[in-house]
Amino acid sequence: MSTGTATYARDSFGSTYSSLYVRAYFQLRSLPSSTVTLVGFRTGSSVSIARLYVDSQGRLALRNDVGATSTTGPLVSLSSWHSVELHLVVNGTSSTIEVWLDGSPVSALTTQTANLGSALIGQLQLGENQTGRSYDIAFDDVVVQTARVGP
């Protein structure tokens, strides 16, 4: 739970990857005051590439920080545990973004024509790194690997 402080963790991988998956379980206990990041990938120098978040209306959404675009997807129910999986393939303007919610593909957040630049994935971020936002969210069982994890 946060009432305005940043609550996040980051992990560096030790090497960089052009393709990587992250799957996490989360429980949204209340709607955020703004947006709240769930999971995201960053470069080895900690620059955000892309991240999944929940908006103030309870919708799962994707932020492509390289391409400076945001796309909203389905509503996420409160007080239930959900699995979310993000897959990035960094390949310039032909990059791939894939998203699954509770094991089902989210077509609104999936593309093979994203611009993710050329800097490879070097870090994972879990949670929200911005201050001034209120939210109550729990995380569990985060897995990062080079193949699809699944629910």
Q: Which two tokens stand for residue 24?
A: 């996490």
User: What is the C-alpha separation between 41 and 49, in angstroms, rounded?
Assistant: 6
Examine the pLDDT at 140 and tell me if it is beyond 70: yes
* Surface-to-core class of residue 150, CB atoms within 10 Å of its CB (0-12 exposed, 13-18 middle, 19+ buried): exposed
Q: Report the number of distinct structural domains present in the chain.
A: 1
Q: What is the pTM of this model?
A: 0.93
User: What is the C-alpha separation between 126 and 90, in angstroms, rounded?
Assistant: 20
Mean pLDDT value across the chain: 93
Examine the pLDDT at 128 and tell me if it is beyond 80: no
Strand arrangement of the beta sheet that strand 7-17 belongs to: 7-17, 121-128, 36-43, 48-54, 59-64, 69-75
Q: Which two tokens stand for residue 103?
A: 């094991």
pLDDT of residue 96: 98
Examine the pLDDT at 129 and tell me if it is beyond 80: no
Examine the pLDDT at 16 and tell me if it is beyond 70: yes
- The answer to whether residue 91 sits within a structural domain is yes
Q: Which two tokens stand for residue 37?
A: 């990041």
Q: Which of 35, 63, 23, 19 is nearest to 128 (CA)?
A: 35
Q: How confident is the model at residue 10 (pLDDT cuts 50, 70, 90)?
A: confident
- The answer to whether residue 73 sits within a structural domain is yes
- The answer to whether residue 10 sits within a structural domain is yes
Structural domain containing residue 78: 2-145
- The answer to whether residue 72 sits within a structural domain is yes
Q: How far is CA 25 from CA 15, 47, 94, 116, in A?
A: 25, 24, 29, 25
- The answer to whether residue 75 sits within a structural domain is yes
- Higher-confidence residue: 133 or 142? 142
Q: Write the pLDDT tens digit of every residue in 60-100.
A: 999 999 999 999 999 999 999 999 999 999 999 999 999 99
Q: Write the pLDDT tens digit of every residue in 141-151.
A: 999 999 999 98
- The answer to whether residue 151 sits within a structural domain is no
- The answer to whether residue 150 sits within a structural domain is no
Domain of residue 100, CATH code? 2.60.120.200
- The answer to whether residue 68 sits within a structural domain is yes
